[in-house]
Chains A and B, each alone.
Chain A
Amino acid sequence: MKVRFSVNGEPAEVDVEPRELLLDVVRDRLGLTGTHAGCEQGACGACTVLVDGIGVRSCLMLGVQAAGREITTIEGIGTGRGHLHPVQEAFAEHHGLQCGFCTPGMVLTAIELLQRHPHPSRAEIEENMAGNLCRCTGYVNIVDAIEAASAALSSAGAAREEA
């Protein structure tokens, strides 16, 4: 089946079998391998992408269901090579990753949270991130990073307003 959608702001057209997961379409058909295949049953959150700005597990959506949607992957959130998104900067600064396998899902989940709720409490961050599993860092640094990103994004927003 031919399916058309948008990925990171660019139009995409792929010819896929109905059984191909959005995860596999993004990785194998579009070559965007920053989206990681973890458990492939919705338990780990490593494959998180944004569909029309809403966080979903790409292993639990069929590629054909992306028709007409705007998909955002980890490749689409920075402002270009060498220019990280503030959430990515904060993860690097606060050692919010170790092996990095869960990181794309963590970062997109955090970005979606901060778009919806720019100043979450620590408890709200923990609640929101609980569906993303990390086997290295123990989560404390991840929560630290998201708190820092929240502060950085709001001070950047305030600076923009002043300018």
Chain B
Amino acid sequence: MKPAPFDYVAPTTVSDALDAIASAGDPRVLAGGQSLVPLLNLRLARPDVVIDVNGVDELDHLDIDDGVVRIGATTRHRSVELDPELASAVPLLVEAAGFVGHPHIRNRATVGGTIAHADPAAEFGAVMLALDGRVIVQGAGGRRTVPAAEWYQGYFTTAIEPGEMLIEVELPARSSGAGHAFREFAPRHGDFAITGVAAIVERANGSCTGARLAACGVGSVPVDLSSVADALVGATDIDDDALREVTRRVAVLVDPTSDVHASGEYRRELVQLLAAEALRAAWERAPSGGRST
């Protein structure tokens, strides 16, 4: 229950961090450490070099500019959760942040860390897909932008290449007619969700003009379920009939496997229920619904 030996470097610039990554055999970037340090303690990860990026000031930023929210890799979950500007710009992310672990985990956990770690049960995976976010990574060849849909490749596996590190994520700011909601079920408060769902509903002149939906915990990667949206477009109420069609389609789109936490069948039931709840809540929060987010 103690980490195997490793070398430790604490660069203060992205450039120095990338140099350290390039010269290591099996490097790991340490941000909040709330996933990496347990893996070190259990010796499931045995890097030769740990590169601590907590001192890299350029990774710790939160900017909202021209409809785009940019969140630096080492921004803490707790900062996201408590930021009043983010609450109106990306309410979906802020709501989801409150479901991640416990306050003391969120004091350390970082946005970049959870997205790089890519646990399929992680809330932010569903949020990234629902919002069509982008991940900015940097390596020796410069920066590149990876859409969320291409980021998640498999269990704990992303599109990041050796020698690269995650710099920031970009999320579109909430459009004026949209309502957002995140719902999940976990057997104990603060545990990883068995299943979680992120929903966005666009509403104009009293009817639904679009929707996006994504789930975590129902496969090896977060799953984009937005193709169900055409069952809602044009609806003047997200009622039981509309949701019946949505949940029927959700059940077809997911193929969850069984594990020690829940059976695949149970997860399939749960994702339908949570999708209905999240879509209904998002609809009610969309401004023409009378109650704003």
A residues less than 8 Å from B54 (CB atoms): 65
CA distance A158 to B41 in the complex (A): 46
Interface flag for B199 (CB, 8 Å): no
> Does A42 lie at the interface of the complex (its beta carbon under 8 Å from any beta carbon of B)?
yes
* Chain A residues numbered 47-88 whose CB sits less than 8 Å from any CB in chain B: 48, 54-57, 59-62, 64-65
Please measure, in the bound complex, the distance between the C-alpha atom of A131 and the C-alpha atom of B4, giving whole angstroms.
27
Contact partner, B104, options A18, A24, A41, A45, Cβ 8 Å: A45
Q: Is B8 part of the binding interface, using a Cβ–Cβ cutoff of 8 Å? A: yes
**Least distance between B83 CB and chain A CB atoms (Å):** 16
Query: Are the C-beta atoms of B105 and A130 separated by less than 8 Å?
Result: no
Q: Are B190 and A18 in contact (CB under 8 A)?
A: no
B52 within 8 A of A: yes
CB distance from A37 to the nearest CB of B (A): 8
Q: Does A2 contact B (CB under 8 A)?
A: no
Decide yes or no whether B102 CB sits under 8 A from chain A.
yes
A contact patch SS:
mixed
Please determine whether B50 and A42 come into contact, CB atoms closer than 8 angstroms. no
Contact assessment for B6 and A42 in the assembled complex, using a CB-CB cutoff below 8 Å:
no
Q: Which residues of B contact A54 (CB under 8 A)?
A: 107
Size of the A side of the interface (Cβ < 8 Å), in residues, is 27
Contact of B3 (CB < 8 Å), options: A1, A19, A61: A19
Is A17 in the interface zone, CB < 8 Å from B?
A: yes
Q: Which of A24, A41, A62, A127 contacts B189 (CB 8 A)?
A: A127
The answer, among A48, A60, A64, for a CB contact under 8 Å with B37, is A60
User: Does A21 belong to the interface (CB within 8 Å)?
Assistant: yes
Q: Are A61 and B41 in contact (CB under 8 A)?
A: no
A19, B37: Cβ atoms under 8 Å? Answer: no
Q: How far is the CB of B33 from chain A (nearest CB, A)?
A: 5
Choose among B2, B5, B37, B42 the residue with the greatest number of A CB atoms under 10 Å from its CB.
Answer: B37
Residue of B nearest to A129 (CB): B102
- Which of B1, B33, B103 contacts A62 (CB under 8 A)? B33
Out of A24, A60, A109, A130, name the residue touching B2 (CB < 8 Å).
A24
Chain A residue nearest to B10 in the complex (CB): A64
Query: Whole-angstrom distance from the CB of A22 to the nearest CB of chain B?
Result: 10
User: Which chain B residues lie closer than 8 Å to A64 at the CB level?
Assistant: 8, 10, 52
In the assembly, what is the distance between CA of A29 and CA of B126, in Å? Answer: 42
B172: interface (CB < 8 Å): no
The one of A1, A24, A60 that contacts B38, using a Cβ cutoff of 8 Å: A60
**Which residue of A is nearest B78, CB measured?**
A54
Question: Could you tell me if B103 and A131 are in contact, using CB atoms closer than 8 angstroms?
Answer: yes
Quick one: closest A residue to B40, CB to CB? Answer: A19
* C-alpha gap A24/B5 in the complex (Å): 15
Residue among B6, B41, B104 facing the most chain A CB atoms (10 A cut-off): B104
CB closest chain-A residue, reference B4: A19
Docked complex: B57-108 residues within 8 A CB-CB of A: 101-105, 107-108
Partner of B8, one of A18, A56, A60, A127: A18
Distance of A17 Cα from B34 Cα, bound (Å)? 20
Shortest distance in angstroms between B96's beta carbon and chain A's nearest beta carbon? 16
Q: For residue B103, which residues in chain A have a CB less than 8 angstroms away from its CB?
A: 55, 128, 131
What are 29 A-B contacts with C-beta separation under 8 Å? A1-B8, A18-B6, A19-B4, A21-B3, A41-B1, A41-B38, A41-B41, A42-B34, A42-B37, A42-B38, A42-B105, A45-B104, A55-B103, A55-B107, A56-B104, A57-B105, A59-B41, A60-B33, A60-B34, A62-B33, A62-B37, A62-B50, A109-B104, A127-B189, A130-B189, A131-B101, A131-B103, A131-B104, A131-B190
The 4 tightest CB contacts between A and B, nearest first, are A131-B102, A18-B8, A19-B3, A41-B38
A: residues with CB less than 8 A from B are: 1, 17-21, 24, 40-42, 45, 48, 54-57, 59-62, 64-65, 109, 127-128, 130-131
- Which residues in B have some Cβ–Cβ distance to A below 8 Å? 1-8, 10, 30, 33-34, 37-38, 40-42, 50, 52, 54, 101-105, 107-108, 189-190
